[in-house]
Structure 1
Amino acid sequence: MNESTMAFYDELAENYHLIFADWHQVISRQGETLDTVIQSKFPASAADRLSLLDCSCGIGTQAIGLAQRGYNVSATDISAESVQRAEKEAHAYGLNIKFGVADFRSLDQDVAGLFDVVLSADNAIPHLLTDSELYLACQNFHAKLNQNGLLLVTIRDYDALAKEHPSVTQPRLFDEGKRVVFQFWDWAADGKSYSVNQFIVQEMNGEWTTKHYKTEYRALLREELNIALSAAGLTEIEWHFPAATGYYQPILTARKY
């Protein structure tokens, strides 16, 4: 992870919702889908007592959605601006979520307590560009879980993307064509990492504006993540794919015993 990661999310925090057609619908839909996956891993009797740490909460998309469904949610992120926005949004929803700024490479030091579920969604882990960072984060995920706790991670399908090396995402048009969202990807020569240039082009009052944000990702393969999680002591590693879950990214689950 480099300095661009924090700057990317700090700068994007105010406008993050604009990358979706309707962010509030996304909150509800993702909360429902993730809840279904989580509940499949716990007995029904525990459903309304689960504590959850969203350790890459951004502006609160998953944290809010899961708090609405009865989870006892704590939420952290490396971006102070994102956490501030998430806290404001949760308050507007009337939800009691404990927020804080924390790096998921140092959760064991930065966050008090243990949790039934640790969540990192929206492709956050691939910001860890080296194996040493990845292994350190996995150790911290393990450290924050209760016994029999569940880790849940969502990332892009890099097993496919690393073969294709796409250079641009399909532009998405919202607000009757007055808002266009897309990304340009600049791949490293070895094909193992890439820079993302996120664009939000918007027409307001007859004037077009372009917002540009840039960050770095590792094209993290499933087996690479599996190995790092196993080394940290996590077991029962499973991948759940969009065709089965309806979620927009592959979902990984793993247990601490």
Structure 2
Amino acid sequence: MTVPGPPREDVFADVAAAVLGPGPHSGADLLDVLAQMPAHPVDVVRAGDDLLPRLAHENGLEAALNAARLALRPGGLLVAAVPELDRLRRLRPTAPPPRVSGRGEARQVTVQLWDWAEDGSSYGLEVLQLARSAGRWELVRSVATRHQVLSKEQISEALTGAGFAAVQRLSPKEAGHPLPVWVAVAP
């Protein structure tokens, strides 16, 4: 699930261009790969912010990473933004700050609500999107999922276990994305 906000796909394209060089790169979203394997290998498979933790909770992370590797040409990249909430499991916050976009009547607010498991290993995530309409706030979209908390070590192990090479974690500052971005190369 991708929460509305600033364009994040540009960050994935920038990372791919930095590794693969300039030029057009064929790509696919991991969810699309899981729905239907591309007819031809692609240069880049992208995984949005909450996808890997959701797949991990559904016991589908290993199969999804294997599918991504098979969809890539040799030397192709998996680029994934993954929240690292393992340090928060002790605190179990109920929500991050709301995200506000637009101005005046075009303003929208996105709110996340977190419901942590007792042991802190997973959390439920509800995303509510509110928009102004006739001077009032209205709920325009609501999505709920459950995610496993993944540490840096677990993400690295999952990527190398799926057969990726040159696994690298880019900090938010390095990637220009609010979350760490993982880059892994298909053999």
- What TM-score, normalized to structure 2? 0.83
1:123-202 to structure 2, matched below 5 A, reads 123-130=50-57, 132-174=59-101, 175-176=103-104, 179-202=108-131
Q: Which residue of 1 aligns with 2:146?
A: 216
**Inter-partner Cα distance in structure 1 for 2:77 and 2:131:** 40
Q: Is 1:40–2:18 an aligned residue pair?
A: yes
Runs of 4+ in 1 over 4 A off after TM superposition: none
Distance 1:39 1:201, change over 3 A: closer
Q: Which residue of 2 aligns with 1:69?
A: none
Distance 1:233 1:188, change over 3 A: same
What is the DSSP-based 3-state SS (H/G/I as helix, E as strand, rest coil) of the residue aligned with 1:160? coil
Deviations 1:221-250 (A, max 9, x none): 221121122111111110001122221111
Bigger relative contact order, structure 1 or 2, given CA contacts below 8 A and separation 6+?
Answer: 2
Deviations 1:73-132 (A, max 9, x none): xxx2xxxxxxxxxxxxxxxxxxxxxxxxx5x3x65xx43221121111222111114484
What is the DSSP-based 3-state SS (H/G/I as helix, E as strand, rest coil) of the residue aligned with 1:233? coil
1:24-35 to structure 2, matched below 5 A, reads 26-27=6-7, 30-35=8-13
Distance 1:31 1:186, change over 3 A: closer
**Inter-partner Cα distance in structure 1 for 2:143 and 2:10:** 29
Q: Which residue of 1 aligns with 2:29?
A: 54
Deviations 1:50-90 (A, max 9, x none): 2212223xxxxxxxxxxxxxxxxxxx2xxxxxxxxxxxxxx
What is the DSSP-based 3-state SS (H/G/I as helix, E as strand, rest coil) of the residue aligned with 1:226? helix
**Inter-partner Cα distance in structure 2 for 1:217 and 1:137:** 15
**Inter-partner Cα distance in structure 1 for 2:131 and 2:11:** 30
**Inter-partner Cα distance in structure 2 for 1:31 and 1:166:** 28
Contact 1:158 1:222 in 2 (8 A): no
**What is the Cα deviation at residue 33 of structure 1?**
2.8
Q: Which residue of 2 aligns with 1:203?
A: 132
More strand by share: 2
Query: What RMSD in Å do the two structures reach over aligned CA positions?
Result: 2.5
Contact 1:151 1:254 in 2 (8 A): yes
Q: Is 1:248–2:178 an aligned residue pair?
A: yes
What is the DSSP-based 3-state SS (H/G/I as helix, E as strand, rest coil) of the residue aligned with 2:177? coil
**Inter-partner Cα distance in structure 2 for 1:173 and 1:38:** 29
1:100-115 to structure 2, matched below 5 A, reads 104=34, 110-115=37-42
Contact 1:120 1:154 in 2 (8 A): yes
- What TM-score, normalized to structure 1? 0.63
Give aligned pairs, total.
Answer: 184
The one-letter code sitting in structure 2 at the alignment partner of 1:222 is K
Give the share of equivalent positions with the same residue, in percent: 24
The one-letter code sitting in structure 1 at the alignment partner of 2:66 is Q
**What is the Cα deviation at residue 256 of structure 1?**
1.7
Runs (5+) with no aligned partner, structure 2: none
Runs (5+) with no aligned partner, structure 1: 1-8, 10-15, 21-25, 57-75, 77-101
**Inter-partner Cα distance in structure 2 for 1:166 and 1:186:** 8
